[in-house]
Each structure stands twice: as C-alpha cells, then as structure tokens.
C-alpha cells in the first residue's frame, strides 16, 4: 500500500509539472501542447532529464543548465503541492469501493488541478483567468447536476417528484455558489472594486459548487482569517504597506482545500465548543 501512495504522489507531481506549463503559457499566450518545454530565459529546449518533477530542480541547484539563470521556485513548489493534494484526495477517498466513489475521486483530482492553476496565477499576476475559472465552474455544476440525477434515480426516480432534484441541487451546492458569489459581488459593488475584484466573485461561485453547504461558510471564514493573519505579518515585516494590493484568490483557494478535506471536522469542533 505505501508503494501505491508513493506512485500516486509521483503522478501528482507530474500533473503539477504540466500545470506549471499552463500557468506560464497563459501569460505569454504560447501554445500549451505544440511547443516543447524550454528555459524562459535562454529559450533552450529542455531534455527529459531536466523535466523530472522536483528532482531536476534539486540536481540543477535551481538553475538552468545552459544559461545558469535561476529557475523560479514556483516550479518545484507547484509540483510538490499538486502531489500532496493528490495524496490527500486519495487518502480521503480510499478505499474506492464503487463506481460512484471512483467518479467523485476523478472529479476532485480534476477540479484540484484547476484550483492549483488559479492559486498560482492569481498569486503571481493578481488576475483570475477566465479561460480557467469558467470551465471549472461548468465542470463543478455539471458534476453536481449528474450527481443529483444519480441520487434521484437511485432513491426511486419519478416517484419522489422532481422537487427532490431541485432540493438536492439548488439548496446545497448551487445555493452555496450563489451565496458566496453574491457576497463577494456585494463587496465589489460597495467598495467599487477597491477591496475585491470580479475574479473573487467567480472564485466564490466555484467554491460553493465544490463545497456546498455548510462547508462553504467554513471556507469563507478561514479565507478571511488566514488573509488577515498573513496581511498583518507582511505589514509587521514591512513587506507590504496599508496601500499595497494583496490578491485574495489564493486565500480563497487555500481555504477551499482546507474545507474540502477537514471542513466537517472543523465545523463539528466549533459546534462542540459552542455547546460547552
């Protein structure tokens, strides 16, 4: 079993390497599939031994073998993070005992790749790319819709009435997306875009479609809490000022991962404290 986990982690780092290509070429407009990977400084095409996730960065001491320019830490960190996310998904879904669990695992793996790209791209460029966020929203919506249809059929189909589908979809994931999106849209309108942007609204919708209710509230709370703590630390270290812009997307996405894996535990812990 440990070997299987190691292999799955390696698979995650390989996907992370591909996500790095997407992140970089989204900005340059370069084709993702047509051109081979190359050094962004000297443009030298990379050999297979220079493309091994994490290991190549360590062996080359974070520098290009051809021009000697430093390689961004984005590459190994994204690969490592994606590998760890894949491991967490496998751990929380294991054992995969039926087809429904297999499909759900596949959905989580796919949507996590979108989240990683959004996290890194927003952190680097203070921008949420529509070409990533819109497909992610559509995929999350369609997955939840088919999941509602599956449960509806499994529980008796038309005999339950179509309100069963409506309740399952609208009053959980879709409603969660609408609540989060409307919340951030209100902040955008009130602040006239000074506090948050429309990218955060779109991420909020995606968060709701992934997490549902009540986990979306856990994620929103964590995002603001982590964002506040990090902002204070940056101010104390004089890395940022009160007028500096800090992208909120990475906090939202980081909180989404936390709520996805430990949201129920955190919620039960909080409710337990409130009952003391």
Q: Which residue has the higher pLDDT, 167 or 176?
A: 176
| In contact, 253 and 118? CB cutoff 8 Å | yes
pLDDT for position 92: 87
pLDDT for position 151: 59
Q: Which residue has the higher pLDDT, 164 or 66?
A: 66
Q: Is the pLDDT of residue 188 over 80?
A: yes
Could you state, in order of their start, the residue ranges of all structural domains in the chain? 1-100, 126-276
Count CA atoms closer than 13 A to 219's CA, side-chain side.
32
Q: Per the structure block, which two tokens stand in for 83? A: 């590998």
pLDDT for position 274: 66
With a CB cutoff of 8 Å and minimum separation 6, the contacts of 215 are 176, 259, 260, 263, 264, 267
- State pLDDT tens for residues 197-255: 999 999 999 999 999 999 999 999 999 999 999 999 999 988 888 778 889 999 999 99
Q: Is the pLDDT of residue 165 over 60?
A: no
Q: Is the pLDDT of residue 161 over 60?
A: no
| This model's pTM is above 0.85 | yes
């Amino acid at each position: 079993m440990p070997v299987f986990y190691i292999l799955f982690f390696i698979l995650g780092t390989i996907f992370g390497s591909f996500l790095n290509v997407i992140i970089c070429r989204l900005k340059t407009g370069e084709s993702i599939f047509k051109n081979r990977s190359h050094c962004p400084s000297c443009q030298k095409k990379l050999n297979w031994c220079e493309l091994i996730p994490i290991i190549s960065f360590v062996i080359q001491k974070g520098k290009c073998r051809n021009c000697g320019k430093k390689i961004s830490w984005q590459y190994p960190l994204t690969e490592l993070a994606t590998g760890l996310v894949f491991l967490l998904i496998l751990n929380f879904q294991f054992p995969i005992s039926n087809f429904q669990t297999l499909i759900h695992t596949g959905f989580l793996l796919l949507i996590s790749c979108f989240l990683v790209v959004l996290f890194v791209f927003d952190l680097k460029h203070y921008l949420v790319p529509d070409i990533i966020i819109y497909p992610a929203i559509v995929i999350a919506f369609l997955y939840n819709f088919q999941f509602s249809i599956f449960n509806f059929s499994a529980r008796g189909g038309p005999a339950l009435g179509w309100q069963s589908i409506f309740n399952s979809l609208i009053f959980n994931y879709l409603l969660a997306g609408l609540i989060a999106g409307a919340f951030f849209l209100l902040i955008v309108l009130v602040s006239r875009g000074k506090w948050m942007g429309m990218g955060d609204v779109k991420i909020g919708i995606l968060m709701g479609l992934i997490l549902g209710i009540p986990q979306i509230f856990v994620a929103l709370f964590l995002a603001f809490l982590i964002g506040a703590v990090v902002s204070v630390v940056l101010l104390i270290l004089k890395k940022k000022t009160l007028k500096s812009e800090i992208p909120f997307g990475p906090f939202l996405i980081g909180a989404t991962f936390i709520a996805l894996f430990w949201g129920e535990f955190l919620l039960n812990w909080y409710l337990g404290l409130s009952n003391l």
